[in-house]
Amino acid sequence: MYRIAVLSYHTSPLAPLGGAETGGLNVYVLELASELAERGHTVDVFTRRTDPAQAEIVHIGEGAPGTRIIHIDAGPARYLEKRALDAHLDAFEAGVAGFAERESLSYDVVHSHYWLSGVAGAKLKVRWGVPHVAMFHTLGEVKARARVSEREPEPRLAAERMIAQDADKIVVASRDEQQLLVRHYDADPDRIAVVPCGVNLGMFQPVDKDEARQQLGLGDDDQILLFVGRIEPLKGVDILLGAAAQMEGQSDCFVLVIGGDSDARTGEMAHLRDLAEELGIAERVSFLGAVDHERLPLFYSAADVCVVPSFYESFGLVALEAMACGTPVVASRVGGLTVAVRDGETGYLIPWRCPEPFAERLELLLGNDELRRAFGQAAREEVERFRWSNVAEAVLGIYGEVIDGTPARTTAVFRN
Ligand code: UDP
């Protein structure tokens, strides 16, 4: 049994989802931890304290030893923007080490999430003399290339380069990402493991569409396009709005946008509201703000199509969640979305980041009930292989490899 130190410095797995910095990474950390704990491993997830009232240790899930979330003092105990966080990284790393020393704990492996945690992971690797498994989730170089406005500061890029060279294993969610790491960061392909993300098939299940719509107060005959995710330019919600505006004869087509703070009067949310006005579709677009994860199956089931128009997506859990609810997905042909969605079988993959091709595919799907049903059914079957237990088995294989040199078996279900 392994004792695993997970680093999730910049965002807590306990934070509500759908905020500016809470999304797939948080879900990933929690789901993986719970799978590992179920198998008898001990998981301590270290995160930065953002509220003085937070208990130092919070136990989650059932059973012993289970998973603990450990809040470490590093900088002021309140929310800080990402760019203010590198200043407190040393304090975080020292805090994690201090906690382990105080509790007389030794870990078998450090698993870091996002580059900030990766920096701490590289230091703990040396301090503790244990292997470091890193996951970037997003890469600065790739973000910058995906959308011009996304220039990332040099310290991030330098840190990512350092981690790419230093980590014992880098876990990525797609071969696409593996290639990007090799190309832009000169990473050794043999030290990169491809493990697709997972979906909670118990939570994400199809609900009868009429019933879901009734529960949500949505019209029976409306055509509904759904977006779920953090509200930031990289997610390409502007492409979806542009597509909705272009679709002909779709006056009864509605767009639901879930995520972010729907009351925000600045930033991307304000920009998207203005755009909907400009495009003349404001009355057909609802910005619903963040929705509880547990409630999302209703929305996915109520929607006709889930749209994931990202400029860059290291995986895209939302696509899997929609598919698990039997809803076809129209997504950008980027990153992990190319693993999740089968073009022409469970949805469509769009190679261009502009509204026209999205509009064309959406029109096709909305206009054909039979096709939508067939795609939806195929989608639910397809996601079976993405259950979190498969992810956990693959990650355990990687731990075995870096801890005691046991070669990891390739999990057949994850070959793509
Ligand atoms: N999410 C949520 N409520 C919201 C918005 C998002 O629960 O209001 C969840 C969503 O279900 C998914 C995650 O946040 O599990 C977003 O993950 P994804 O990989 O799609 O995007 P990322 O956040 O990694 O960019």
- Using DSSP, state whether 328 is helix, strand or coil: coil
- State if residue 297 touches ligand 1 by the CB under 6 angstroms criterion: no
pLDDT on residue 16: 85
Residue of minimum CA distance from atom 5 in ligand 1: 18
pLDDT on residue 368: 95
- State if residue 228 touches ligand 1 by the CB under 6 angstroms criterion: yes
What is the rounded CA–CA span in Å between residue 4 and residue 67? Answer: 10
Q: Which atom of ligand 1 is nearest to the CA of 293?
A: 7
Largest CA distance in the chain: 67
What is the whole-number distance in angstroms between the Cα of residue 405 and the centre of ligand 1? 34
Instruction: Copy the structure tokens of residue 289.
Output: 């703000």
What is the whole-number distance in angstroms between the Cα of residue 99 and the centre of ligand 1? 31
User: What is the domain partition of the chain in residue ranges?
Assistant: 3-198+387-414, 209-384
Residue of minimum CA distance from atom 4 in ligand 1: 18
Is the bond preceding 155 in cis, omega lying within 30 degrees of 0?
Answer: no
Pocket test for ligand 1, best of 22, 295, 296 (most atoms within 8 A of CB): 296
Which bin fits 156, alpha (ψ -120 to 50), beta or left (φ > 0)? alpha
What is the whole-number distance in angstroms between the Cα of residue 403 and the centre of ligand 1? 31
What is the rounded CA–CA span in Å between residue 288 and residue 25? Answer: 22
Per-residue pLDDT of the chain (416 residues; tens, 9 = 90+): 999 999 999 999 999 888 778 889 999 999 999 999 999 999 999 999 999 999 999 998 876 668 999 999 999 999 999 889 999 999 999 999 999 999 999 999 999 999 999 999 999 999 999 999 999 999 998 888 887 676 788 899 999 999 999 999 999 999 989 999 999 999 999 999 999 999 999 999 999 999 999 999 999 989 999 999 999 999 999 999 999 999 977 667 999 999 999 898 889 999 999 999 999 999 999 999 999 999 999 999 999 999 999 999 988 999 999 999 999 999 999 999 999 999 999 999 999 999 999 999 999 999 999 999 999 999 999 999 999 999 999 999 999 999 998 877 655 445 44
Q: What is the DSSP string of 124-147?
A: HHHHHT--EEEE-SS-HHHHHHH-
pLDDT on residue 148: 66
Residue of minimum CA distance from atom 21 in ligand 1: 24
What is the rounded CA–CA span in Å between residue 38 and residue 138? Answer: 28
Q: Which residues have C-beta within 8 Å of that of residue 197, sequence separation ≥ 6?
A: 24, 28, 173, 315, 316, 317, 320, 336, 386, 391
What is the whole-number distance in angstroms between the Cα of residue 3 and the centre of ligand 1? 28
Q: Are 400 and 408 in contact (CB under 8 A)?
A: yes
What is the rounded CA–CA span in Å between residue 373 and residue 241? Answer: 24
pLDDT on residue 412: 47
pLDDT on residue 411: 55
Angle between helices 355-366 and 369-383 (to 10 degrees): 100
- Using DSSP, state whether 232 is helix, strand or coil: coil
- State if residue 291 touches ligand 1 by the CB under 6 angstroms criterion: yes
The superfamily in CATH containing domain 209-384 is: Glycogen Phosphorylase B; (3.40.50.2000)
Q: Are 347 and 237 in contact (CB under 8 A)?
A: no
Shared fold status for 3-198+387-414 and 209-384? yes
pLDDT on residue 416: 45
- State if residue 259 touches ligand 1 by the CB under 6 angstroms criterion: yes
- State if residue 316 touches ligand 1 by the CB under 6 angstroms criterion: yes
Instruction: Copy the structure tokens of residue 229.
Output: 């995710």
Q: Are 17 and 124 in contact (CB under 8 A)?
A: no
pLDDT on residue 252: 72
Q: Which residues have C-beta within 8 Å of that of residue 32, sequence separation ≥ 6?
A: 198, 388, 391, 392, 395
Tell me, rounded to whole angstroms, the distance of Cα 406 from its chain centroid.
Answer: 29
Q: Are 282 and 245 in contact (CB under 8 A)?
A: no
Pocket test for ligand 1, best of 114, 269, 318 (most atoms within 8 A of CB): 318
pLDDT on residue 63: 64
Instruction: Copy the structure tokens of residue 381.
Output: 């079957």
Give, in order, the Cα–Cα distances in Å from 150 to each of 3, 74, 202, 241, 244: 37, 27, 36, 20, 25
Residue of minimum CA distance from atom 22 in ligand 1: 24
What CATH number has the domain spanning 3-198+387-414?
3.40.50.2000
